[in-house]
Amino acid sequence: MSLQDRPAILNDKEFRYDSFKNGKVLFNKKKNHLPAMGWNSWNAFGSGNTEALTKDIADSIVRLGLDKLGYEYVILDDGCYKPERVDGFLANEEVKFPSGFRALADYIHGKGLKFGMYNDIGTNLCAGAAVGTCGHELDDAQTYINWGVDFIKVDNCYYLWDNATFSDAKNARYTYAPKIKSINVCGKDAGIDFCKKYSAVSDGEITGRGAEKTEDYVWNIGTFDGTGPDNTPYGEQGGELRFTVEAPSDGEYSLTVEYASAQEPGCGEWLQVACNDDVIYDDLLEATSDKDTFAESVKMSLKLKAGSNVIRLMNHRRQENTLSSYAALQEGFDKYAPDGDIILSICEWGKTQPQDWGYKVGDSWRILNDITFQVGADGDPGKGNWIADYTTSVTTQYSKAVIMDEYAGLDKGWNDPDMMMIGMNGLDETMCKTHMTMWSMMNSPLMLGLDLRRVEKGDWIYNIIANKEIIALNQDALGIQAKRVFTTVETESPSTDYIREMDRVDIIAKPLSDGSIAISFINVSDKDKCGDFAISAKDILDAIGSKMADRSVFENAQKYELIDLWSGEKTESNGSFCVKEIAACDNVTYRVIPVQ
């Protein structure tokens, strides 16, 4: 079968789930990038971005001096390509981008800035153009190199191997295992044939997330879809059904599986079987007549050792397929520009739990669906929310990203809670200030999403996006995402528990390369808060001491100098850091410098 007929065959175990934690990158992906900073066209102009607008934005970045503050990428999002390929290659939409992308890249590079573009791992872009990278990854990588692209954001619409946005819903066949009723293991003992049947319900053990036992079978074996809010990213996000099989002696055995399949979330057709960590089957099973009629699978051969063996029935293809597709593009970048260093922004909306694998090929990974669906247009700033349903608010994105610090780092990449909404309707100055603080403390990419032509030096939007002290937190060379060390909501583990309640104050802390730390007191709520919001130097040491540039300096300080990074006010502390009042949606952020 060709690439277009089915997901990639995974001959290299580096693409497999079991290799996600080994720390190895693929195709020479370069690391040690700080979070990317720049401007992306989507929140500002949606599909209505044009060459003229993009040039105006590049001019504005320079006019405002934002380039000197680190904002370097100018990124064209969806809506810029010709709707179909030309002789198999990507091309510019001629009305909106008449000069072509190479000319636009040259213009942007001429300003001392860097040029970014957008595509999808599916067949089409989210806005519809049939120019997705699927099946064209190497050619497209070369095209982007030829165009002078420095950054590429890659979305997940129309993906062939998962039930992603605009994909065929039946693609769930690839990403969920069938319902499993039993397995049958056969072999020889002292020359005599034997078979033993193991019930999925009574003999099988479920691990990870999602898989469920019913009275007769186990189902929902796959990877939990992380696109929506209110779910923790921690723990094994893929469920497995495991059997402990006793073998009388070392040797060749056979395995069959009693299953029923469908093409829907929870019950698919693709099964992976591993025996003592060797994958022995990774393919579609023949479809059963319906999802309630069980059949026996093909016979699989496996080697067992005398004594206990673990047989795993699973389907990690949601993650493995998506990784393979992003990797194909990185393979192209490595092939055609091995010394190049194109930043790859993974945008599969957290669907496949990219915090597990994104570091292998990418520099950042979106953690949820979009932060706003009310994007702007020329003359319309669009709208963002502080608190709202689904993923569409500052606080929803923050609430997931803030517990994901352990997945981020210079040797990995960055959690991406989406482009910023500063300057959009619906968010006032206080909200935007805190939005900027949150994204900076969390080492999120700082992608502006507003029409910069309406910003002037010294106005409130400028003062937020150009706050050097706050930007310095994001771009600090130590590259450590802030950790939540306290929250007013009762919880067992503030640093890892997903908290749905927005009526709260969080305290997050971040070690910095000069031995100081940053602390933010964040009022997530839209109500003013009074109280003793306090944390001690010991609390901070317990939480982030191991990541500090010099723990002993902080630990042995006689006092601490505090600089409020929004007001500039300086105070001192003997080791207790406290805020008593925080206005609705506001934050107080200090750089805390240990003094000997």
Can you give the binding site for other proteins, defined by CB under 8 A?
46-48, 78-79, 82-84, 93-96, 126-130, 157, 165-166, 349, 369-370, 373-375, 377, 380, 383, 388-390, 425-426
Q: How far apart are the first and last CA of the chain?
A: 68
Q: Phi first, then psi: what are they for 237, rounded to 5°? A: -90, -5
412's tokens:
């990995």
Please count the other Cβ atoms lying within 10 Å of the Cβ belonging to residue 407.
22
User: Mapping DSSP to helix (H, G, I), strand (E, B) and coil, where does residue 523 land?
Assistant: strand
DSSP 244-276: EEEESSSEEEEEEEEEE--SBTTB-SEEEEEET
Question: 430: left (phi > 0), else alpha (psi -120 to 50), else beta?
Answer: alpha
Give the shortest CB-590-to-other proteins separation in angstroms.
Answer: 36
Alpha-carbon separation of residue 63 from 104, 365, 475 (angstroms): 18, 30, 22
Give the shortest CB-153-to-other proteins separation in angstroms.
Answer: 14
Nearer to other proteins, 49 or 399 (CB): 49
**Residues in the chain, total:** 596
Give the shortest CB-126-to-other proteins separation in angstroms.
Answer: 5
Give the shortest CB-498-to-other proteins separation in angstroms.
Answer: 20
Nearer to other proteins, 372 or 488 (CB): 372
Torsion of CA 466, 470, 474, 480, to 10 degrees: 180
181's tokens:
């009723």
Nearer to other proteins, 378 or 469 (CB): 378
Measured CA to CA, the distance from residue 189 to residue 466 in angstroms comes to 74
Give the shortest CB-591-to-other proteins separation in angstroms.
Answer: 38
Nearer to other proteins, 83 or 307 (CB): 83
Give the shortest CB-167-to-other proteins separation in angstroms.
Answer: 10
Nearer to other proteins, 127 or 186 (CB): 127
* Maximum distance among all Cα pairs of the chain, rounded to whole angstroms: 87
Burial of residue 358 (number of CB atoms within 10 Å: 0-12, 13-18, 19+): buried
Nearer to other proteins, 347 or 482 (CB): 347
Nearer to other proteins, 370 or 416 (CB): 370
Give the shortest CB-448-to-other proteins separation in angstroms.
Answer: 20
Nearer to other proteins, 391 or 525 (CB): 391
Nearer to other proteins, 366 or 412 (CB): 366
Q: Among candidates 341, 344, 338, which has minimal Cα distance to 326?
A: 344
Give the shortest CB-273-to-other proteins separation in angstroms.
Answer: 33
Alpha-carbon separation of residue 296 from 53, 239, 246, 467 (angstroms): 60, 22, 22, 64
Give the shortest CB-393-to-other proteins separation in angstroms.
Answer: 11
Please count the other Cβ atoms lying within 10 Å of the Cβ belonging to residue 189.
11
Nearer to other proteins, 162 or 370 (CB): 370
Nearer to other proteins, 38 or 384 (CB): 384
Measured CA to CA, the distance from residue 492 to residue 485 in angstroms comes to 11
Give the shortest CB-127-to-other proteins separation in angstroms.
Answer: 5
Q: Among candidates 69, 70, 74, 60, which has minimal Cα distance to 109?
A: 74
Give the shortest CB-132-to-other proteins separation in angstroms.
Answer: 13
Please count the other Cβ atoms lying within 10 Å of the Cβ belonging to residue 421.
31
Bridge partners (DSSP) of residue 360 are none
